[in-house]
Structure 1
Amino acid sequence: MLSTKMKVALWVGGILGLLLLAAGLTALFYAPKLINDQVVQKDVIGYDTLPNGTRVLNDMTKKWLHPPYEMILHIYMYSVHNEAAFLNGTEKIRLSQKGPYAFVEDQEKIYHNFSSGEDRIFYRNRHRYFFSQEHSCRDCFLDDRVTVPNIPFQKLIDFAETGFATRIAIEALLIAEGRETPFVTIKVGEALFEGYEDPLISKLCNNPVLSWICTTAKIPKRIGFFFGQNDTIDGEYEVGTGKNGPSELGKMFSWNGSPSLPQSWWESPAARSINGTDGQLFPPLLKKDVVLPLFASQACRSVKLAYADDSEYQGVNSWRYSTPSSMYDPAQPDNHIFCHENSTVQYFDDHKVQLPGCLPAGMLDLSKCQPGEPRVYLSQAHFYMSPKEVWSAVSGLDAPAPERDLTYVDMEPTSGVVIYAKRVMQVNVGMKKGNLNVLKNTAGNVIVPVFWVNETASVDPETRNQLANELQAAKHYAFIGGVSSLTVGALLFIGVVLVVLLDLALGNRDEEETAPLVAQNGEGGQENEGASVNSQEE
């Protein structure tokens, strides 16, 4: 039998084991919920109220207004090296690559205004780019010269097809100007942010007979792939602050005062709809099976991000999201609505490579949302996710490689905070053969890469420490503590139960062993008692 002290110890051990079990279950199931609730409460664009009643912007809003991320834009330029051979029809376009030409990027909301209920906020985002020799290649300078397709020349090709008289006039202008070429050699800085004035187009626009072409085509005086995008804003955004719930944090409600994109950009209302977030804010408590739509003003449309894999960046566990390959397939109904069926040039006769009225897979058409509607197309770098025929139509390109060419975003899943983003894209120009004499010997229409971009954004150290040392550490310690409490509690409780069961078993065994002895002693006494009586009688 157990002593009184042992029984008390068992009672204490049993209760302690149950308490540890309860604490472990709480740490494993309730603590994460408590942490998630705190994150949701803090993930709001808005104000904090100080003890004296003063309202000030909360820390999240301050960082959102001027993101402290390290943002660098790396640009790799392509230059055409066999212009004459291409025009003679003896060679396909041969390119060489040089770069990166690096720019440090700074973003700042220069205007913001809350709605009356503070559930939405209007803002304008200013982008500034500063050339960085430190992050560029050693011999990369903005004065370097490159030969690229001349976008305004493509407009001349289009107008030459409108009538015989127009064609003859354009041909005469080309001969008089001595610039019978669809290419232009300019500085890298001019091709990107500075822009350039094309002498031929200037001559055309100043010609009293042909100036109508410039007016009709809306050809700007200066041409540049990023011209007008430095130290400028990209429209006015109206997004949710998260006050009405985490699902509305960063949700787009309008852009430039409209809930949809201009009708001239896309033919389908579905294509013009603005879906998802603004790309800078994402709702907390991400789920792997939920696709994240976002509006990309540079792409003139909404795009999608889907969970790809677990990842880790600077000690922060994250989920990696990337654009699904299906988004680049024009045969998909959701993507076909972004085709310009009445104006897209046919570059490949094989319908497996290019559907009529659509660009080849892996490409986004920006022509309708640019001044003058130039044939400018976005793709992933090195035509990643495009048919090999697109990549092999020119020479000098590196082969596509997913580890280099994939666009992705790493997000901390509880808070929805972007800790690292990598956007890789390629800017291409569609060159049409047309009916001008200068192009009569070329092989046909071709899509020519001009440059590709690797843009990265890295989380600031303060935010990284908050995510790694506070949020994820709290969940980690809650998990470790919960498992430890469950383990110790279970072992302690099981130990008490085993001791009690063992004691009961030993007690029963002692009773079983004692019972026969008692019975035998009882029977022997009766016999002895009878023998004593008989002895007395005798």
Structure 2
Amino acid sequence: MAIKRPKVAIGFIVAGVLMVVFGTIMCFVVPLVIDDQIVKNTVIDPKNDLTYTMWKDIPVPFFMSVYFFNVLNPAEILKGEKPMVEQRGPYVYRKQCQKENITFHPNGTVSYREYRQYHFEPSMSAGNESDVVTIPNMLVLGASVMMENLPYVLRLMMSATFKTFKEGAFLTKPVGELMWGYDSGLVDFLNQYLPGMIPTSGKFGLFSEFNNSNTGLFTVFTGKDDIRKVHRVDSWNGLTELPYWRTAQSNMINGTAGQMWPPFMTKESTLPFYSPDACRSMELVYQRPGEMYGIPLYRYVAPKTLFANGTDYAPNEGFCPCRQSGLLNVSTCRHNSPVFISHPHFFNADPVLLDYVQGLNPSEEKHGLFIDIHPQTGVPLNVSIRLQLNLYMKKVSGITETGKISDVVMPMIWFEENGYIDGPIVNTFHTNLVVLPTVLEYLQYILIGLGLATIIVAAVVYHKVKAAQKEPVKGSHGLETKKKSISTSD
């Protein structure tokens, strides 16, 4: 039995060495295996059940919250006084998106149209669609600015047309009609005699183009040939560059379609995406790390230069003619209507804009946009895109409906599109991307630690056994000498 003990100790030493070696190998192999699985599952491929379903149908809850700037002093504004507004809302709509006409191409791209529908959610809203609010009349004030440089006679004729259809500088209507459209004799008249002047041939509403519509024909890379290109837009409506802006850089279609990004992001990475509603590409920048449901994330926000004018930020010169920083002039893609996009309440804009309108109170917490993204996969966990629609209005000679209105960029509404992963998707995400890698990471360290402990203990046991084997030999020799001594004395 004593002979076997050293062999057992040696066996444990070998086992310990194997555990250390296996644990060390895991330190290098496990991250590679996880990254390889991420790459395989991130590719846009119907075989990838979870990620393909998320990409195709966006199963997570997504909502649009709309806030109206109710005008409190329309009569005074027509006399040249400063506008006063109060925020009304939110009026919340559940947004449903679904990609259709999905076609895969041999060059590693896929084309689709994404259709969207909005359904009012009374329980989440601060009012009903029947609520009545007053906002600037885009048909009158927008058309007036558009006709400012036309012959005086034409402006008089347009003013007479407004009077014929009883259209004034401000509208007082229910929220539902302002959102999704109302019947207008003026719209019918303009479509008949000035086709193309306004973007609708039916009811006129701020979001009439949004509901039951699609965002255009997108062609994006699947990532099959190069995972760094996954979700990146190859073309939109057949275009590889836009026709709206003044420079090639401004007309570039950059980044993704704004729903997912390539995996393996770092703090130096940015989030570029193309927005058909804003008629341009935009880019968010890293702000801070965070965590959601135990899942690590990076928060990306809009840089202050996003809507800066060409004077404050030279690369934005292509988006001009500009006004104050904080305003994006989208008239070139909105039938030349004097419409501007900004952050809500003119957040991150030139402070002078706040001086022109009473009732605004910007803050980053309420009005800054952000995307929380899981950097390892490029999948957004929490999204809040907040934008404001503004109308440039002023007195136009010959059009009496404009009264003595002072030049002002007037906020009309702002809206927030937000969504976050929830339910079974969170559990799957947490299990596959947090729990499993953590278990494997701990396992490799446990193997290394256990292996080292086994080696040390087995080595100590081995030496003790060897020492114990030598001691009995010495003891038996002493006993034999003692016996011989006793025999001699006898």
Q: Residue 13 and residue 335 in structure 1: after superposition, are their counterparts in 2 closer, same or farther (change >3 A)?
A: farther
1:405 and 1:34 map into 2 onto residues whose CA distance is 41
Partner of 1:269: 248
Is 2:130 the partner of 1:143?
yes
Counterpart residue type for residue 362 of structure 1: G
Is 2:204 the partner of 1:242?
no
**Is residue 307–residue 342 contact of structure 2 (8 Å, CA) maintained in 1?**
no
Q: Displacement of 1:202 after TM fit?
A: 5.4
Partner of 2:106: 116
**Is residue 161–residue 167 contact of structure 1 (8 Å, CA) maintained in 2?**
no
**Match among 125, 141, 160 for residue 114 of structure 2:** 125
Q: Displacement of 1:215 after TM fit?
A: 4.0
Q: For 1:124, what is the secondary structure of its paired residue?
A: strand
1:415 and 1:174 map into 2 onto residues whose CA distance is 55
Partner of 1:441: 404
Partner of 1:80: 71
**Is residue 161–residue 434 contact of structure 1 (8 Å, CA) maintained in 2?**
no
Q: Which moved more, 1:24-33 or 1:163-172?
A: 163-172
**Match among 256, 266, 272 for residue 287 of structure 1:** 266
Q: For 2:123, what is the secondary structure of its paired residue?
A: coil
Partner of 1:347: none
Partner of 1:332: 313
**Match among 252, 257, 270 for residue 278 of structure 1:** 257
**Is residue 5–residue 462 contact of structure 2 (8 Å, CA) maintained in 1?**
no
Counterpart residue type for residue 71 of structure 1: F
Partner of 1:169: 157
1:172 and 1:127 map into 2 onto residues whose CA distance is 39
1:437 and 1:105 map into 2 onto residues whose CA distance is 41
Counterpart residue type for residue 176 of structure 2: G
Count of residue pairs the alignment pairs up:
461
Partner of 1:345: none
Q: Residue 116 and residue 324 in structure 1: after superposition, are their counterparts in 2 closer, same or farther (change >3 A)?
A: same
1:156 and 1:201 map into 2 onto residues whose CA distance is 15
Partner of 1:196: 182
Q: How does 1:100-499 map to 2 (within 5 A)?
A: 100-116=90-106, 119-137=108-126, 140-153=127-140, 154-173=142-161, 179=167, 181-193=168-180, 195-199=181-185, 211=193, 214-215=194-195, 217-218=197-198, 220-221=200-201, 222-261=203-242, 263=243, 265-330=244-309, 331-339=312-320, 341=321, 358-370=322-334, 372-397=335-360, 399-435=361-397, 436-439=399-402, 441-442=404-405, 444-490=406-452
Q: How does 1:1-40 map to 2 (within 5 A)?
A: 11-12=10-11, 14-40=13-39
Counterpart residue type for residue 236 of structure 2: W
Q: Displacement of 1:365 after TM fit?
A: 2.2
Q: For 1:77, what is the secondary structure of its paired residue?
A: strand
Deviations, residues 451-498 of structure 1 (Å, cap 9, x unaligned): 111221122423211110122211111222233334444455567789
1:63 and 1:219 map into 2 onto residues whose CA distance is 32
1:456 and 1:106 map into 2 onto residues whose CA distance is 12
**Is residue 158–residue 434 contact of structure 1 (8 Å, CA) maintained in 2?**
no
Structure index of larger Rg: 1
Q: For 1:110, what is the secondary structure of its paired residue?
A: strand
2:77 and 2:174 map into 1 onto residues whose CA distance is 22
Partner of 1:526: none
Q: For 2:59, what is the secondary structure of its paired residue?
A: coil
**Is residue 152–residue 219 contact of structure 1 (8 Å, CA) maintained in 2?**
no
**Is residue 190–residue 197 contact of structure 2 (8 Å, CA) maintained in 1?**
no
The sequence identity of aligned pairs, in percent, is 26
Q: For 2:285, what is the secondary structure of its paired residue?
A: strand
2:30 and 2:414 map into 1 onto residues whose CA distance is 46
**Is residue 268–residue 286 contact of structure 2 (8 Å, CA) maintained in 1?**
yes
Q: For 1:271, what is the secondary structure of its paired residue?
A: coil
1:329 and 1:486 map into 2 onto residues whose CA distance is 55
Q: Displacement of 1:177 after TM fit?
A: 6.1
- TM-score of the superposed pair, with normalisation by structure 2: 0.85
1:337 and 1:122 map into 2 onto residues whose CA distance is 29
1:201 and 1:238 map into 2 onto residues whose CA distance is 34
Q: For 2:410, what is the secondary structure of its paired residue?
A: strand
**Is residue 412–residue 418 contact of structure 1 (8 Å, CA) maintained in 2?**
yes
1:165 and 1:88 map into 2 onto residues whose CA distance is 24
**Match among 86, 101, 109 for residue 96 of structure 1:** 86
**Is residue 160–residue 166 contact of structure 1 (8 Å, CA) maintained in 2?**
no
1:202 and 1:311 map into 2 onto residues whose CA distance is 52
2:169 and 2:149 map into 1 onto residues whose CA distance is 16
Question: Which residues of structure 1 form unaligned runs of 5+?
Answer: 49-56, 342-357, 507-538
1:86 and 1:316 map into 2 onto residues whose CA distance is 51
Q: For 1:62, what is the secondary structure of its paired residue?
A: helix
Q: Displacement of 1:149 after TM fit?
A: 1.2
Q: Give the superposed CA RMSD.
A: 3.0
2:190 and 2:235 map into 1 onto residues whose CA distance is 39
Q: Displacement of 1:198 after TM fit?
A: 4.4
Question: Which residues of structure 2 form unaligned runs of 5+?
Answer: 468-490
1:361 and 1:502 map into 2 onto residues whose CA distance is 81
Q: Displacement of 1:256 after TM fit?
A: 0.7
Q: Residue 497 and residue 427 in structure 1: after superposition, are their counterparts in 2 closer, same or farther (change >3 A)?
A: farther
2:304 and 2:14 map into 1 onto residues whose CA distance is 57
Q: Displacement of 1:21 after TM fit?
A: 3.1
Is 2:60 the partner of 1:69?
yes
